[in-house]
Amino acid sequence: MHDERRRIEERVERVHNQRIKPAIYSATVPFEVEAWHAPGEPVSFEEAAAARYTPFAMDTPWGPPWGTTWFRMRGRVPAEWAGRRVEAVIDLGFVGDWPGNQAEALVHLPDGRPLKAVNPLNQYVPIGNPVSGGEEIDYLVEAASNPDILANDFAAPTPLGDVLTAGDKPLYTFQRADIAVLDEEVWHLDLDLQVLRELMVHLGEHEPRRHEIMHALDRAMDVLDLDDISGSATAVREALAPVLARPAHASAHTISGVGHAHIDSAWLWPIRETKRKTSRTFSNVTSLADEYDDFVFACSQAQQYEWVRDNYPHVWARIQESVKKGQWAPVGGMWVEADGNLPGGEAIARQLIHGKRFFIEHFGVETKGVWLPDSFGYTAAYPQLAKLAGNDWFLTQKISWNQTNKFPHHTFWWEGIDGTRIFTHFPPVDTYNARFSGEEMDRAVRNYSEKGGGSRSLAPFGWGDGGGGPTREIMERARRLADLEGSPKVVVEHPDEFFAKAREEYPDAPVWVGELYLELHRATYTSQARTKQGNRRSEHRLREAELWATTAALHAPGYSYPYEKLDRLWKTVLLHQFHDILPGSSIAWVHREAEAEYARVAEELEALTAEAVAALGADGTRVFNTSPFDRAEVVRTPEGAPAYVEVPASGSAPLAGAEPAQPVKVEGLVLDNGLVRVEVAPDGTLASVRDLRAGREVLADKGNLLRLHTDLPNYWDAWDIDKHYKNRYTDLLDADAVTVVEEDALLGAIRVTRSFGKGSQLTQTITLRAGGPRIDFETEIDWHEAEKILKAGFPVDIRAPHSSAEIQFGHIQRPTHTNTSWEAARFEVSGHRWVHIAEPGYGVAVINDSTYGHDVSRTVREDGGTTTRVSLSLVRAPRVPDPEADQGKHRFTYSLLPGATIEDAVAEGYALNLPLRVADAAGAPEPVVSVAGDGVTVEAVKLADDQSGDVVVRLYESRGGRASGVLRTGFPLAGARVTDLLERPLEDADVTGDGGVAVALRPFQVLTLRLRRAEGS
């Protein structure tokens, strides 16, 4: 047989694209269109409906960046169209090849009910199937002219990322607004051809099935009448029916498809626009559910549901109905799809608590899995927290973006730091916006790592980020691929069903232990430092407010615990942990608003804490310690003078009274408190740190060396830091001034000022206080660099085989060597409040109050000793998508802690992030809870969310070993139960004979206790 592949494939392509597709709509009449350009921010439907509209013609530019234009569209269905399927077709002037992040619109009926959205790949609005003919159509269409921030592949900075800089030039040119007849037979023929053509080209040239499809298509084209596409479409479809009816192989891979519309809660648009994106997409989804009984849609992020509930009640009602019908599946059980590394442990717990509760309360559905397809790596604390929230499975996708190593599994058991395992899937289709294309189906099968063990995978399908979600075309593809030779089988089903089947067929799936580290987007640990600092401070302020509000509720008559305020503030913080806000990868508008929100949260939480402390009375100045560790340290009095205090964990003490063992001596540029001796060099670096207790020098070279690196990644500026950043840098060794600024028996401080780069200024106050070995570097930067990263390095004279970095409810160890490509790829890693390195018998910690990114490396010196360098990433200067990212002033503190154990690092990490509070109060109420037992650490103290008055305490083992102890209460205890994260009882706790609660924890175990107060307490 002659090889006619080229002729046939080119013939089919041309006829399909140039004849069949244009015939899908067989007749059209235009709408009469009027427009009203809303001034400023979006307005309500009622305001838009009352506005004055003016005539608007097609091919007219419209829409300034971030503007809203309302279009009134009126028309009549021609009488002769009776019995036909008729739709409105609207093209706002869509641009680019991405269906999100550009113009989109929501179509309303005259009474204000949202009907359906219009998106680049979803331009129709159903009118009738069939119509009677003569129907009057009247729509009000809210169109958003969101700019295409992704234009030119992020090649250059753009001012479009903030309404303050975007300008007012129209972005789009309106193309079409028609009432049209959908020729259903031609439309189905178009889909038949799409599926067969794509299947054909992705089958191997040696496959008989490829040639069978090719010749069937060639014969079908002979049947098609090019002068009467509509009239011959049925005959063409009949010619193709046999090749579409061939069943899949018995061993064919099965793809469980579930509708999806990944909508970033903010990214290249502000939060206010996400509120509208959700309403548009959810309108589309509920409309599609009416058309397809077999459609199932999975949707996460309780926050987005709440926005729709509060702003679009008609859409909310349709969602509730779809959930009842089983076509809408709430998934994920989190408030938002949060970043997978940066939120604190308690914050991740609250993400799960608030998310799961929302779905239980509003839909009667308890979600069973964590749905995080797009976060930038995942902490090894997740398996335990997910299980404690009642989840059975975990889904992610993003690890497919790895820059160096291909992740070896798609279905596996993920084991966390405490030993908890959760069944996990990583879809081999490598997208959460699938459309069941031939390329995707081929990739899913080729890519699937579990062949021979498992036979199924998941494929979330639909256009995200404002693209409108799943479409009828995708559903039609799924139906054709349900059982088709040469393709995997496709079944549309709930994710819970997929995970149950996958686990049943592959119970002994391989195990992955530890973090799911993404070998990309490593700069998200550092970008937009003020956003990250706002999160860190908010998490700790929330802890503080809850502790002292609980204390006041127990001990201050008349005080009312602020349930609603704390709930609202937690949700604000949880929203801003979304995986494009907290990582610093959003446009300027998002981060400008985030900083303002964090400031408001700080003000409210400060007021709540002050109110709680004041409720305890005013009879003298006391010091309040929110940390779970006893503290003996220097604070400042209200007058600004230093004072040394000893304060119990989670308790308070008088301001005066204690004395440190030795005073601080300041001699020249040397600080000495009898524990450590710090020598500052004339260039402002640390020339020496001598641990006087251990009799050893801590540093192997200049300490606190500030190094300015060139930082231009290959592509994703705000997201990525590529390994070549290390090759070009400048050490900041020119100090403007190095001076002693405080010399007191309780503390000594030396200030270093520097000017560098493009006008940047940096001031560091190096402080050593009496009674402890911690050396603080209080830092102020006025930052004006571009495409740079500033790091602070500590070369420590320690041979450390690994570093330990705090993560949520524990810490993770990472090798300091680069034996394998997996280790070499971790050249920038995340951590929370501290990083610890050690050799047998001696360790050092580097602690911070707002920094997450760091690197740890080691070299062997000529003298045979080993230098282990810990470098903190302080601030970056990416220009895309926010051209002014990180510009301006920053204030933060990091510290060096010589001679530190892991427990020391944990305690000082809490201390630096939870400064002692000095305030007037009466008496000394007992701490709400206290724990006797090393390694048992209190993370949260609060009243139960059901407002029963029970006290909820969250504990964890913090050292990485087994721990036991006794928890005692500052109130009469009537009973105690172990609960899940949602405060639902699991079992009775072990109450001792003297009223304590015995606690026994495995390494890094998280334990939630619900404590019932005795009557009258």
> Coil, helix or strand for 46?
helix
d(CA 953, CA 2): 77
Helices assigned H by DSSP within 202-312: 208-223, 229-245, 271-291, 302-311
The per-residue pLDDT of the chain, averaged, comes to 97
Helix (H, G, I), strand (E, B) or coil at 857: strand
Give the dihedral sign, CA 502/503/504/509: positive
Q: What angle do CA 998, 999, 1005 make, to 5 degrees?
A: 170
The CA distance from 618 to 107, in Å, is 60
Longest Cα pair distance anywhere in the chain, in angstroms? 102
> Which pLDDT does position 851 carry in this prediction?
96
The backbone torsions φ and ψ at residue 91, rounded to the nearest 5 degrees and listed phi first, read: -120, 110
* Residues 557-565: contacts with CB under 8 Å, at least 24 apart: 558/615, 559/612, 559/615, 561/943, 561/947, 562/608, 563/943, 563/945, 563/947, 565/604, 565/608
Residue 713 in contact with residue 793, Cβ under 8 Å? no
Look at the pTM and tell me if it is higher than 0.95: yes
| Residue 90: how many other CB atoms lie within 10 Å | 25
Contacts of 123 (CB under 8 A, 6+ apart): 89, 90, 91, 176
| Sequence-ordered alpha helix ranges (H) in 872-943 | 902-913
- In terms of Cβ atoms closer than 10 Å to its own Cβ (0-12, 13-18, 19+), residue 403 is middle
| Amino acid type, 412 | F
φ, ψ of residue 349 to 5 degrees: the values are -60, -45
Q: Is 374 a catalytic residue?
A: yes
Query: Residue 379, CB half-sphere, CA atoms under 13 Å: how many?
Result: 30
Q: 158 pairs with which residues across the strands?
A: none
Q: How far apart are CA 374 and CA 334, in angstroms?
A: 14
Rounded to whole angstroms, the Cα distance separating 164 from 669 reads: 47
The pLDDT, as a whole number, for residue 499 is 98
Helices (H), 326-464: 345-363, 382-388, 438-447
CA distance 535 to 342: 9
Element (H, E) at 546: helix 529-555
Q: Do the Cβ atoms of 526 and 853 come closer than 8 Å?
A: yes
What's the pLDDT at 1? 65
Burial of 863 (0-12, 13-18, 19+ CB in 10 A): exposed
* DSSP classification of residue 131: -
d(CA 36, CA 504): 57
DSSP label at residue 840:
T
* The pLDDT of residue 816: 98
**In Å, how far are 268, 335, 584, 599, 661 from 534, measured between CA atoms?**
20, 19, 12, 8, 36
Compute the distance between CA of residue 647 and CA of residue 655 in angstroms, rounded to an integer: 9
Of 183, 374, 717, 722, which residue is the catalytic one? 374
Residues of the chain with pLDDT under 50: none
Among the residues of 326-419, which ranges form H helices? 345-363, 382-388
Span between the terminal Cα atoms of the chain, in Å:
93
pLDDT at 1017: 65
Model pLDDT, residue 96: 79
pLDDT in tens, 152-202: 778 789 999 999 999 999 999 999 999 999 999 999 999 999 999 999 999
List the one residue out of 331, 306, 181, 264 whose CA is nearest residue 881.
264
